[in-house]
Structure 1
Amino acid sequence: MNMATPILVTTTEQIPGKHYQVIGEVFGLTTQSKNVLRNMGAALKNVVGGEIRDYTKMLDEARNIAVDRLRQNAEKLGADAVVMMRFDSGSIGTDMQSVAAYGTAVKFVEADPAQPQQL
């Protein structure tokens, strides 16, 4: 896969105009640690309420890293795209957050006019 054209990642099952064969499950993982400054900011927000922007930023970065790793793993399998991508996240202890991006790696194939349309 050409790095100028990154692997397509979609949350849908079908890609309009494309036919593909399933390669298999693929995922990307990351775990981020909360730092002291983020914890202090969170403690203050617990008192006054509102969004904890440092945590939001940390989770956004973690999601981006997880999707990048998902693409890298799909590329290693020879995939052209990842369909049905989803996220999962959770806390590990009191100061770490993990994010997983997962989906199905697929390889594009030419449609055979003699065969019924299959994905």
Structure 2
Amino acid sequence: MSDILIVTTENIPGKRYEVIGEVFGLTTQSKNIFRNIGASLKNLVGGEIKDYSKMLEESRMVSLERLRKNAQAMGADAVVMMRFDSGSIGTDMQSVAAYGTAVRYV
């Protein structure tokens, strides 16, 4: 599955391809009580909340892997124009989406 190329550009140099369709990889992570306590304390003094940053980094990796899996299921060779989107759900959940266009080489 790791052989599926994922790029943020519209074109892949030296490759011709046909568009299969849009492809997504989604994940939603919940903040645990320890992260919330740490974040509240950090909010008092300022600075980076490393547990949240780690959670978002892990979420991006999970969403990318799911994007690859979905692209492979569609018969894609690559994904172009990949982007991330994220947002909060309520006060204790974070959703991350990786999305792009699945393509097949011709």
Q: TM-score surpassing 0.5?
A: yes
Q: Cα distance, 1:6 vs. partner?
A: 2.0
SS of residue matched to 2:97 = strand
- Between the aligned residues of both structures, percent identity stands at 75
1:1-119 equivalent positions in 2, closer than 5 A: 3=1, 5-109=2-106
TM-score computed with the length of structure 2 as normaliser: 0.98
What one-letter code is carried by the residue in structure 1 that aligns with 2:4? I
Gaps of 5+ in 2: none
Greater C-alpha radius of gyration: 1
Gaps of 5+ in 1: 110-119
TM-score computed with the length of structure 1 as normaliser: 0.87
| Aligned counterparts of 2:66 and 2:51: Cα–Cα separation in 1 | 23
| Aligned counterparts of 2:44 and 2:3: Cα–Cα separation in 1 | 43
What one-letter code is carried by the residue in structure 2 that aligns with 1:69? R
> Which stretches of structure 1, 4 residues or more, deviate above 3 A after TM superposition?
none
| Aligned counterparts of 2:35 and 2:48: Cα–Cα separation in 1 | 12
